């Protein structure tokens, strides 16, 4: 494809567009990787929900070769892009992408960790509820669900850039927008997952780590 990969956002482009890129990936991937090194198991399968362009997963898989990585997305254009990045990287520990709609469709039987980057605010709330519901079935006690993105928090001032981003998301789709961490905690609790870590990230983002409670 001439001119390099095309920019990607959820629901944009056609399958024929092939490899695409998300501009924020280059800015946040190493900060995310630093937390993943602390939270992921030393081996096993990491399921990425809403892999988007596919750039994150090939970066993480190259840095953490002892782990197997399963990319997923509900968007055919994203699946095509993920596959293009995977083929270019030639990494044996990245599996072919599969379609997964967090709200309704989980064609995966087990995982040792689940990673979800920048999905919660660019999807309907049903996708977030489905993320926790799916992880409650997939993850063994203590295994991590790792969520990254911008959030709102009670008693924590929201950065002006995040307020503006929230407005722009809602203008595009009334079902989108920054979620409150307390609401994620509540839905996590409903499905037996408790948050055990909150990490402040660059550009006013957070990483939230949830784990199924020990029975």
Is position 18 within any domain? no
Average pLDDT over residues 10-26: 71
Is position 122 within any domain? yes
Count helices and strands in the chain by DSSP H and E runs:
6, 11
Is position 3 within any domain? no
Enclosing domain of residue 130:
45-212
| Residue the block writes with tokens 């307020």 | 163
Question: In this predicted structure, what is the pLDDT of residue 20?
Answer: 87
Question: In this predicted structure, what is the pLDDT of residue 132?
Answer: 98
Is position 1 within any domain? no
Spatial separation of the C-alpha atoms in residues 101 and 53, rounded to whole Å? 16
DSSP string, 97-143: PEE-BTTTB------SEEEEES-GGGS-HHHHHHHHHHHHHHPPTT-
% of the chain surpassing 90 pLDDT: 85
pTM, rounded to two decimals: 0.92
Does residue 1 carry a pLDDT above 50?
no
| Residue 29 CB-half CA count within 13 A | 18
Is position 10 within any domain? no
Number of folded domains in the chain? 1
Average pLDDT over residues 25-53: 97
Is position 140 within any domain? yes
Q: Domain containing 87 — which CATH number? A: 3.40.50.150
Is position 2 within any domain? no
Is position 80 within any domain? yes
Decide: 24 and 89 in contact? Cβ < 8 Å.
no
Does residue 3 carry a pLDDT above 80?
no
Average pLDDT over residues 133-152: 96
């Amino acid at each position: 494809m001439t001119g390099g990969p095309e920019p990607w956002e959820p629901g944009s482009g056609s399958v024929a567009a092939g490899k695409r890129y998300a501009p924020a990936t280059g800015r946040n991937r190493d900060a995310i990787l630093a937390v993943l090194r602390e939270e992921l198991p030393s081996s096993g399968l990491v399921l990425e929900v809403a892999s988007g362009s596919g750039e994150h997963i090939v970066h993480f898989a190259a840095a953490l070769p002892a782990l197997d990585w399963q990319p997923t997305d509900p968007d055919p254009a994203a699946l095509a892009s993920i596959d293009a990045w995977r083929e270019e990287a030639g990494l044996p520990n990245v599996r072919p992408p599969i379609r997964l709609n967090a709200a309704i469709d989980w064609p995966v039987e087990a995982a040792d960790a689940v990673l979800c980057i920048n999905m919660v605010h660019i999807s309907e709330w049903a996708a977030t509820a489905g993320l926790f519901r799916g992880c409650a079935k997939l993850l063994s006690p203590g295994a991590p669900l790792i969520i990254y993105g911008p959030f709102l928090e009670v008693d924590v001032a929201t950065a002006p850039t995040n307020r503006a981003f929230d407005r722009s998301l809602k203008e595009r789709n009334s079902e989108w927008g920054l979620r409150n961490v307390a609401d994620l905690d509540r839905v996590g609790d409903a499905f037996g997952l408790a948050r055990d870590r909150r990490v402040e990230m660059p550009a006013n983002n957070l990483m939230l780590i949830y784990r199924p409670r020990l029975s």
